[in-house]
Amino acid sequence: MTTESKLTHLDADGNANMVDVSDKAVTTREAVATGCVTMLPETLQLITTGGHKKGDVFAVARIAGIQAAKKCSELIPLCHPLMLSSIKVELAVDLPNSKVLITSRCKLAGQTGVEMEALTAVSIAGLTIYDMCKAVDKTMTIGEIRLQEKRGGKSGDWQA
């Protein structure tokens, strides 16, 4: 952050406000976020073999992540409601590290970015995995949630 950077959600008096994007150009915008849920190997095996009594953990987590991206502005007070054109939530198994890797990709043509929607999708997918598996594994951790890349908008493209 440079010394000329400022927090855009604060007005001149330091009060929180939603940024006015009405004069910004409509451009294609895309964001990718990642995270993971670390668990006991036995828990991961239960999920991957379909032996979990609550059903398909990955399917439920994927749907929860998609729904969360669509509801982002209801969860985070200063986020704009967006007309997302694409939301993808992918789950992968990392057996050696006993993790479920979560990746979300959100896209739209609009006046503001979709980073928060992608991050929210990953967070809620992780929380859903935790919720579905907490009865068998209380040691799970949700972590490493971060923005991996964003494309479009005035600030241009960025990659971690």
Enumerate the active-site residues. Answer: 131
Whether 133 contacts 39, CB under 8 Å: yes
**Continuous segment of H or E residues that includes residue 135:** none
For residue 109, how many other CB atoms are within 10 A of its CB? 11
CA end-to-end distance (rounded Å), the chain: 15
β-strand pairing of 86-94 with 158-159: unpaired
Q: d(Cα 71, Cα 65) in Å, to the nearest integer?
A: 10
